[in-house]
Structure 1
Amino acid sequence: MIFKKFICLFLLAASISISGCSSLLVPVQISPYTNRVDEILKTSGSNRPQLEKFLTGFDSPEKKQAAQFIAANLPPCDRAGLSSGLLTDNLEYAFLARATTPWGKDVPWSDFLHYVLPHRVSQEKAVEWRKPFYTELLPVVSKCNSMEEAVLAVNRWCFSKTGFKSTQRWDQNPLMTINRGWGRCEEAVILTVCALRSVGIPARQAMVPAWQHSNDNHTWTEVKIGGKWHYIESANPDYGLDHAWFSGSARKAPLVISYAYGQLTNPEEPILKRTFGCTLLNTTARYAPVSRTTIAVRDNSGKPVPETAVFFSVFNYGSFSPVAVKTTDAEGKTDILLGPGSVLVSAAQGNASAYTGSTWIPGEQKKRDNILLSLTPENKPEGNILFRFDYNDSQAASAPPVNSEGAKKATEDTLKKSRLDRLQGMKDAASRFNPDLGPQIALAGLNVPQILLALNTCPTQFLPELKAEIKALAPADLICATGSELVSNTVLAVQSRAEAEDAGLNYNDKIFNEYVLNPRIMYEQMRPWRSVLHTEFNFDKGKKIAHILAEIGKTAKNLDSSPRGPLGSSLSPLGVYESGTASNNSEICLFATAAMRAAGIPARYLDEQGWTEYFDGKDWQPFYPQSPELTGNRNATDESRSYYSPWQTIKFRLPGYGKEDKHARYFRDFTVSRLYGRKFFRILEKTINGQLDEKNNIWEISVPTGENYLISARRNNKNEPNISVIKIIQAPIGTLNRQNTTRK
């Protein structure tokens, strides 16, 4: 799984406690959620009537309070788009599971609210999973003699629905994962947590944001049985409770985070961070040795620096990956509980910053040393450092071997074969219907009938464009698209192109297919936007491109801010438009890109730059949604000037990689990473051109000028990285040549 990105409701601190008690409830008339619910309704836009219908649809005090709890913590994407029907069914079936399972009523009220009732697990699109899961799984768990037995039975059921395979950066919802028959670890977690919650078992997601002993990360499922949390490998029946392939790896975890919907009061584990609609718990101590460290941030004169973000990063995928961020208090201090190994600790304020490595090796040190960050003007995080994590750990040696498909082959292979047979049947049907397009249609998994329906019902004159759309769509989009949505998107895209041509904007089919017809822009969850946005943004009444861009810019500038936590996806373009809100610049750019495409203007989002581009018939031009007056100005900011100017080229040979050795690879062995706000690094994935001269073992890389660093590492015999960090200003050590180049 590609790791992704991490980054409030105030529970009433009254004498009446709702934590851990299933019978004592806060009366609805003095509900602690009232103020937050009001804020949610104000930022729900045109979806407000749906939320109000949900909130007023229950008679019992328990259900009323549960509805307020869900509504008070709705992420922007949910409050802008979820129907009252989905939310009501989710609540009713959660209470039904509470009443009909042997353990349901024994689950404390607080655990029920935070770990059974929630309609979502992570950043997947919220869908109606609870009713079908409850219907199918209730007979399964009814045969079980204990909650533990039920957990394992549910996990086996999940295994029958999906296997492990890397997918895409945005999360599949549980129905998508079943349709596809595959999912990465986080998608297996989403499926498993939903399945457990559907039968009243408290469950949540836990994860290591980034490993330090290897690349990548991992996430798994935690379940609460008899008042104690346990872990399982999601959708994998190979292991029981607290026993999985990652048990040994977790002993070297720098940090483990568990997620709770809403704001927990008096949690059992230390709180890492409270964010909107979610409490992040530091559960590292359940998996690995831990040590607490205190960080003090001082300015250049030695004075405390309050309200400053402190970042903690591990070495992963050839760069420093942030795993946590803490904020200093009034005395300029913060603290954190971390597992063994090394982290980069960084902070910045204005042009002053500080960076230091922190290492704790159990058996060699009693605890992790406290850290002093002295902010220094124009400081650069350059140099060499060894990051360690290896220590003598007998518990890790007893962990089971990796086997993501399970070792009980007789039973599990039968379950797997049944799943694959269903997918093969869909593949055969797709090939019979259209031999040329069959392989692409088959990627829709169990959703193949919807793709076939689209092809069978599409007007003949639009079939070439529909086929182009299907070829361009990612499997994750094919497995959830409906036939009517596909046809509607195609027809409107073709019509908007014709309108653009009438207005004098012309472009070829390749640009049309990729930047007008394609409904996907970046990593957002799909929600059809074209028909609504085309009604508002189009070439009618003799409009030109400038008029439409001005309208889009005006809409973007008038958007209100809506806070977002780690739960819930980014607002879709339609969600931004209908709610009149956005959580960040990325959502604004997604909306602007969709609005331009809806009008027939080719558009794309440059996520690493933070603005959009449109095609004017001759070239790509910058469009800054929140500053439309700067449209087309390539010198609008330092970043745009750098991006549109000739790029800087460096040539280098990494130490330790000889002609007889393996070649250095991007991501695995090195990256060019940008330092953002002088605080943390992020790998350049798209704003970069490069190639390797294999004969001479020399890399040639081109990037825009900026706060870019060449970060590389060679791992020792313990797999610990010796890291080199070089600022790309002058030619780095080993550079043979340096010149300017134009962007490709």
Structure 2
Amino acid sequence: MKKIVTISALLLIILSSCDTILNRHLIKGSDKRKEVHAQFEERVKLIAAYDSSIYKIINSELTTKEREGFEFLYAYMPLSDLAMHSPEYVLKNVQLALKARKEFKWARKVPADIFLHFVLPYRVNNEYTDNAREIFFEELKERLLGLDTYQAALEVNYWCHEKVTYQSTDERTCGPLTAVRSAFGRCGEESTFAVAAYRSVGIPARQVYSPRWAHTDDNHAWVEVWVDGKWHFLGACEPEPELDRGWFAGPAKRAMMTRTFVFGKYNGPEEQLKQTNFYTEINLMPNYAPTRKLTVTVTDSTGNPVEGAKVEYQLYNYAEFYPIATLQTNANGLCTLTTGIGDLMIWAQKDNTYAFSKADRNQNDIYLTLKKEIPFTNLSLTLTPPDEQTIPPYDESTADEHNRRVKQGNEIRSNYISTFIDSASAANLAMEKGISIDETWKWLSKSRGNWNEIYNYIKNLDTKDISVGVALLSTLREKDLRDITTDVLFDHLSRIDSFPALLESRMVKEFDSYILSPRIGREFITPWRSFLQDAFTFEEIGFFRNNPQNIAQWIKEFVTLDTESNYYRVLLSPESVYRIRRADEYSMAIFFVAACRSFGIAARLEPASKKPQYFMKGKWIDVNIADEKETQATTPTGMLIINLDKNSAVEQLKYYTHFTIARFEKGKYSTLDYEESPLFNKFPAALELPEGFYRIVTGNRHKSGAVNCNVYYVRVESGKKIQFTLTIPSTQTEKMVLGTISTDITIPFIQNPQTIEQITKDKPAIVAIIDPLAEPTKHLLRDISSLSSEFSGIGNSIALILASGKSAKTDLTSIFDGKPYPNTITLGNDINGQFEAKVGQAVGKQLEYPVVLVVNNNGEIVYHSSGYSINLGEQLLSALKQ
């Protein structure tokens, strides 16, 4: 008996040892390990040039898995991370990923390649990375005890919902911890946060991105998680009682592209859109929608196939043709994309030859001939998105428990928000410092959970610094207030007088905006002012102040342009550019502006083109930091005068909604950014532009999602004026009745129920069934709020009905988050769902929130929208006027 026990024990030890030996590698396959190690050694050379501390990690006692994880992250991380993160930070993230793998049974079952690419990386997209993995692991580990993988995946999203909800923000992506401190984020930030949470507990996750919708002017990001051997989707911070559910499931079936970026060289089963030395871009369209393979054949003028032509598959969205995928032709002149069943525009170019054509939704093949002439023929087009698809109904048996969990999550988040500073404390601080109470409350309230940093900054301002210190705060964007620190603010304030401003004393606004301000573009604000002032000698700074072109020349001589390895487009801080001496063009531009401002020179990124400029002798002067031959950009300019056709289908034009202007450069038309510009507040509008070729796109979207589009081309010549008349195409069709609803149906208003006949007695009315906590409804509410005066002015009744089980907010002020709303709105609550059922019968379609109708006094439904759509406010105004 003893021999049997001994043998059994020995066998167990041997098997355990074998298991350890067989599983000691994190990276499977000796060839892949060699490839990773070789690239790691190349990256180390870059780092060691300014920071040799990485050798301390390399020479330390690491396990095989720790070393392979460390090398993998360094081999493939974007340039920004090489410059920003310490070796200790990277190793810590490797150790935390391995800890999660040991802690959770599902993590131990994840295939090696999936773990390597979708658990180990600390970065999700272009966020400012932080210590989220460690903090999220500690918060979630007890909560997930005893759950299987599927249950854990659902539970993590309930936790995410307790922390963060949707709110539109600017394009800079905040880190996961900032999203938690703020308690909100746009979809890209919610999904980044959620992916970080999943990875922290060993559940493979990736951010899925539809770069632009085909049927409405917007985009969206969500999450896929690897559960029980398969990828499933979910809405980030928008929990559902089961996976593969979300309000965006319907829109995704109309998508033309869904994709994700994968950290490192990933060779999974998905279609590769692109693979470089650092990342892989994969196509996820077959997971969501009916697809077709669209093959583009490119030939030259003699009919021979063109290899290596760059082909952009472009989608109309935001009044521009946006590339949803960029491929290169093979030796036969072919490239093929799996895409949705809708219309696209195809742009191809190589070696100063070009082609541009529409690919209809029913085409699987398109043939292009490259020509030396830049495409310059005006076009009138109708572009049609994929058709709507039905979504299987939910299992209603879990609805009550799910609604309880959602309500509980809202309460937890609200309780956290209640800890933010109040207006009385803000007023006391303002009075103590002798500054505006309203301004102080604005800064502190917008800083959300970061309010302590802003409070301490104001509190510790010396009396002599109050004026400039307050002006500095005024230059920040709302998102800056949520993640900037007291130390960074004081760094900029303390060094602002180091060098006299090269401006006339009366130019106070220019000083504040273009010297004092630490905000330049879409970068995370760092203490670059003191760093750059200390990095250069007094003599060098004098040389730069004498002629700012010398800064551009310094960049050319000492910083290598890298167009490939900063693939997530996370900007290198000015400090990082100086240290690593390698950067992408946009980071170089940020460095130039930061250096100028540090040395008292007014500088900016030109608002439309985002090219760097400095202010000297009363004018803005361009600099060229990427062209090795030339530093100063001296392109002559002409004047484009844009008139509005009096018969245009739209009265109040909006840039990126109804039209855009693009300049031809670097082989394609690039859209100029006039979104915030006052130039188009009235017409005619005069634009001073560098001479060259320009394309103007105008569009008007049907309720169906199709777009009537005009494409115009103009040439701007030096010293000349060119007149152009802008026409927005019409979408007006013969009035159609989409259904009929009985006028005696009672609308369940909270205070005074009324019938449809009563609210439509004088004018047609808007009736909307909403879920105010879901992103699609928030878009509708924002549209209505932005057009509040217009809706109030025309006087049509608006009935906002809370859907059954969606009554977390029960007053108009909270539903509109304190923003203005029309005085014609009445709020209702469809507690038992009976009103929605009657609307569904009248429309005859599956309903998704928000359900929006325009009903006249005959009960005729003359407008109907269900689910996610952008610019609903304008569509509703148009429907009411018609």
When residues 706 and 109 of structure 1 are mapped into structure 2, their CA distance, relative to the original with a 3 A threshold, is same
Are the aligned partners of 2:446 and 2:482 in contact in 1 as well (CA < 8 Å)? yes
Who is 1:384 aligned against?
Answer: 380
Alignment gaps of 5+ in structure 2: 1-22, 431-436, 716-721, 728-882
Q: Deviation of residue 548 (structure 1)?
A: 5.8
Contact 2:314 2:322 in 1 (8 A): yes
1:702 is aligned, of 667, 687, 693, to: 687
Question: Structure 1 residues 69-78 or 531-540, which shifts more?
Answer: 531-540
Q: Secondary structure at the match of 2:105?
A: coil
Q: Is residue 641–residue 684 contact of structure 2 (8 Å, CA) maintained in 1?
A: no
**Aligned twin of 1:721:** 707
Residues 588-624 of structure 1: per-residue CA shift (max 9 Å, x gap): 1111111111112111122644642222364333333
For the structure 1 residues 702 and 98, does the alpha-carbon distance in structure 2 shift closer, same or farther, using more than 3 Å as the test? same
- Normalization by structure 2: what TM-score? 0.73
**1:312–1:343 contact (8 Å) kept in structure 2:** yes
Structure 1: runs of 5+ lacking an equivalent: 1-19, 736-744
Instruction: Note the 1:632-651 alignment, pairs <5 A.
Output: 636-637=633-634, 640-642=635-637, 645=638, 647-651=639-643
2:656 is aligned with 1:653: no
C-alpha contact (below 8 Å) 2:660/2:671 kept by paired residues: no
Whole-angstrom distance in 2 between the partners of 1:182 and 1:101: 29
Range with bigger deviation, 327-336 or 90-99: 327-336
Q: Contact 1:537/1:598 (CA < 8 Å) preserved in 2?
A: no
Distance 1:308 1:455 in 2: 56
The Cα shift of 1:183 comes to 0.3
Specify the alignment match of 2:523 in structure 1: 524
Distance 2:391 2:669 in 1: 31
Shift of 1:558: 2.4
Whether the 8 Å CA contact 1:652–1:734 is kept in 2: the answer is: yes
Please tell me the residue identity of whatever aligns with 2:310: A
Q: Confirm or deny: 8 A CA contact 1:207 1:258 kept in the other structure.
A: yes
Task: Give how far 1:396 is off.
Answer: 4.4
Q: What amino acid maps onto 1:155 in structure 2?
A: N
Equivalent pairs, count: 685
Please tell me the residue identity of whatever aligns with 2:167: K
Q: How far 1:627 sits from its partner (Å)?
A: 6.7
SS, match of residue 483 in structure 2: coil
Query: Deviations along 1:253-275, whole A, 9 cap, x unmatched?
Result: 1011023211113x121111113
* Cα offset, 1:656, TM superposition: 5.3
d(CA) in 1 for partners of 2:627 and 2:252?
46
Separation in 1, partners of 2:122, 2:95 = 11
Distance change in 2, residues 1:719/1:25 (3 Å): closer
Deviations 1:300-346 (A, max 9, x none): 12122211210011110112111110011222221111111011011
Q: What is aligned with 1:427? A: 421
Aligned to 2:412: 418
Distance 1:39 1:555, change over 3 A: same
1:122 aligns with 2:129: no
- CA drift of 1:537 comes to 4.3
SS in 2 for 1:371: strand
Does the 8 Å contact 2:548/2:614 carry over to 1? no
Alignment of 1:298-697 (within 5 A): 298-360=299-361, 365=362, 368-378=363-373, 379-380=375-376, 382-391=378-387, 393=389, 395-396=390-391, 409-428=403-422, 429-434=425-430, 435-436=437-438, 437-497=440-500, 500=501, 508-537=507-536, 543=542, 545-546=545-546, 549-562=549-562, 563-567=564-568, 569-583=570-584, 585-606=585-606, 608-609=608-609, 611-616=611-616, 618-625=618-625, 636-637=633-634, 640-642=635-637, 645=638, 647-653=639-645, 657=649, 663-685=652-674, 690-691=679-680
Distance in structure 2 (CA, Å) of the matches to 1:683 and 1:618 = 24
CA contact 1:248–1:399 (8 Å) conserved in 2? no
- Deviations 1:117-141 (CA, angstroms, capped at 9, x unpaired): 1011000112111111111110111
The 1:350/1:731 distance shift into structure 2, 3 A limit, reads farther
For 2:250 and 2:32, the matched residues in 1 are separated by 50
Report the secondary structure of 1:728's partner residue. Answer: strand
Relative to structure 1, the CA distance from residue 486 to residue 610 in structure 2 (aligned partners, 3 Å threshold; closer, same or farther) is closer
Which residue of 1 is the match for residue 158 of structure 2? 156
Q: Kindly indicate whether residue 167 of structure 2 is the aligned counterpart of residue 173 of structure 1.
A: no
Deviations 1:276-300 (A, max 9, x none): 4221111100100111122111111
What one-letter code is carried by the residue in structure 2 that aligns with 1:419? Answer: R
- Quickly say closer, same or farther: Cα 1:50–1:541, change in 2 above 3 A: closer
Q: Give the conservation status (yes or no) of the 8 Å contact 1:44–1:76.
A: no
Q: Distance in 2 between matches of 1:685 and 1:293?
A: 33
- Give the 3 Å change call, closer, same or farther, for CA 370–462 of structure 1 in structure 2: same
1:536-561 Cα shifts (integer Å, max 9, x gaps): 34755993622564255223332123
Residues 354 and 655 of structure 1, relative CA distance in 2, 3 Å threshold: farther
Summarize the Cα distance change of 1:81–1:419 in structure 2 as closer, same or farther, 3 Å threshold. Answer: same
1:225-247 deviation digits (Å, cap 9, x = unpaired): 11100000001114531111010
- Cα pair 1:297 1:374 within 8 Å, conserved: yes
CA 271–400 in structure 1, closer or farther in 2 if over 3 Å, else same: farther
Q: Which has more radius of gyration?
A: 2
Amino acid at match of 1:722: N
Deviation at 1:493, TM superposition (A): 1.4
Match for residue 233 of structure 1? 235
The alignment partner of 2:412 has SS state of helix
The aligned counterpart of 1:91 is 94
Instruction: Report the CA distance shift for 1:56/1:189 in structure 2 as closer, same or farther (over 3 A).
Output: farther
**SS of equivalent residue, structure 1 residue 229:** strand
Q: After TM superposition, give the deviation of residue 224 of structure 1 in Å.
A: 0.3
1:91 Cα shift? 1.0
Separation in 2, partners of 1:542, 1:679: 38
After the TM superposition, which residues 182-331 of structure 1 pair with which residues of structure 2 at under 5 Å, given as runs? 182-238=184-240, 240-265=242-267, 267-331=268-332
Any idea what SS the aligned residue of 1:167 has?
A: coil
**C-alpha offsets along residues 555-596 of structure 1, whole Å, 9 cap, x if unaligned?**
33321233325435022222111100112x222111111111
Residue aligned with 1:649, SS: strand
CA contact (8 A) 1:469 1:490 kept: yes
Determine the structure 2 residue equivalent to 1:3: none
> 1:61-72 maps to which residues of 2 (within 5 A)?
61-72=64-75
TM value normalised by structure 1:
0.85
- Give the counterpart letter for 2:280 in structure 1: T
Separation in 2 of the partners of 1:21 and 1:45?
29
Q: 1:539 to 1:439 in 2, by over 3 A?
A: same
Letter in 2 for 1:175: L
Distance in 1 (CA, whole Å) between partners of 2:573 and 2:139 is 31
Superposition CA RMSD, Å: 3.1
Q: Percent identity, aligned pairs only?
A: 25
Tell me: CA distance 1:86–1:200, structure 2 relative to 1, closer, same or farther (3 Å). same
The alignment partner of 1:495 has SS state of coil
Deviation of 1:44 after TM superposition, in Å, equals 3.1
User: CA, structure 1 residues 651+135, in 2 after alignment: closer, same or farther (shift >3 Å)?
Assistant: same
Name the structure, 1 or 2, with higher relative contact order (CA <8 Å, separation 6+). Answer: 1
Measure the CA separation in 2 of the matches of 1:528 and 1:543: 21
Against the structure 1 CA distance between its residues 23 and 601, is the aligned structure 2 distance closer, same or farther, given a 3 Å change threshold? closer
